[in-house]
C-alpha cells in the first residue's frame, strides 16, 4: 500500500545531487505569527563558513534558484552539516507558522503522522500530490515512512508522545566542563 503511493509519485524524488524542485503556480501565502517584517541581524559565521555560504549563494543565483531582493524581510542563514558531512544552507524561519493538525514542517523537514496505517497512506498521498503540484522534490534517501518512532528536530516522536532525543540527553549528562583557570573565565 505505502509502496504503491511512493511508486505513484516517482516524479517527487530527486535523481541527482544538483536536481531541485521548483514551486509552480502563484507565490505562496504564508500565515505569520507576527505581521511585522523581520529585519534582525544575521547570525555570525566563521570565515570558512562565510566562504561556503557565498559559494552556495553564487551557485543558486547562477542556476536561477534565487534572485537579488530588496525586501524588508530578512531571515538569518543557518549552515547545517548533513549526516554525510556536506553542508546545507537553510534560513531560520521560526517566525513563520502554518501548521496543520497532522503535518508539521521546520525548514526543509516535514513529518506526517496518523493513528493507523491506512490513514497515514492517505495523508502521505495528499501531501505528495501537493508537493508534485508545487514542484517540490524530496530526497528518497532521507525519507522514512511508516515508522513507529521518528527523530525530528532533536526529539523522538512515537506513540508515547514527544520526548527529548536520548543521544542529546546523554551528551548533556556526560558533559564535564573544564574548571576555570583565570578570572576572565569565571566572570
What is the structure's pLDDT at 29?
Answer: 67
Domain parsing of the chain, residue ranges: 2-144, 147-187
Element (H, E) at 171: helix 166-173
As assigned by CATH, the class of the 2-144 domain is: alpha beta
pLDDT of residue 187: 64
pLDDT of amino acid 71: 81
Please name the residues in contact with 6: beta carbons below 8 A apart, sequence gap of 6 or more: 145
DSSP 38: P
Q: What is the pLDDT of residue 61?
A: 93
Query: CA distances (Å), 151 to each of 99, 144, 158, 162, in order?
Result: 19, 10, 9, 10
pTM for the model stands at 0.50
Cα–Cα dist 138/130, whole Å: 12
Per residue of the chain (187 residues), give pLDDT as tens: 888 888 898 888 887 777 777 777 766 666 665 667 766 678 899 999 999 999 999 999 998 888 998 888 888 899 988 888 889 888 877 655 555 677 877 777 888 888 888 999 999 999 998 888 878 888 888 888 888 888 887 888 888 888 888 888 887 788 777 888 888 877 6
Amino acid at each position: 500500500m505505502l509502496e504503491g503511493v511512493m511508486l505513484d509519485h516517482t516524479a517527487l524524488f530527486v535523481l541527482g545531487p544538483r536536481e531541485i524542485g521548483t514551486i509552480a503556480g502563484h507565490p505562496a501565502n504564508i500565515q505569520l505569527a507576527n505581521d511585522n517584517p523581520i529585519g534582525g541581524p544575521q547570525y555570525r559565521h566563521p570565515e570558512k563558513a562565510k566562504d561556503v555560504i557565498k559559494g552556495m549563494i553564487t551557485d543558486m543565483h547562477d542556476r536561477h534558484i534565487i534572485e537579488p531582493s530588496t525586501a524588508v524581510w530578512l531571515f538569518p542563514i543557518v549552515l547545517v552539516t548533513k549526516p554525510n558531512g556536506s553542508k546545507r544552507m537553510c534560513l531560520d524561519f521560526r517566525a513563520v507558522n502554518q501548521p496543520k493538525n497532522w503535518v508539521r514542517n521546520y525548514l526543509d523537514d516535514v513529518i506526517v503522522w496518523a493513528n493507523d496505517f491506512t490513514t497515514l497512506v492517505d495523508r502521505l498521498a495528499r501531501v505528495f500530490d501537493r508537493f508534485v503540484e508545487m514542484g517540490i522534490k524530496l530526497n528518497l534517501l532521507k525519507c522514512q515512512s511508516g515508522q513507529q518512532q521518528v527523530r525530528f528536530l532533536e526529539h523522538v516522536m512515537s506513540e508515547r508522545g514527544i520526548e527529548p532525543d536520548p543521544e542529546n540527553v546523554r551528551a548533556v549528562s556526560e558533559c564535564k566542563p573544564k574548571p576555570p583557570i583565570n578570572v576572565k573565565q569565571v566572570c
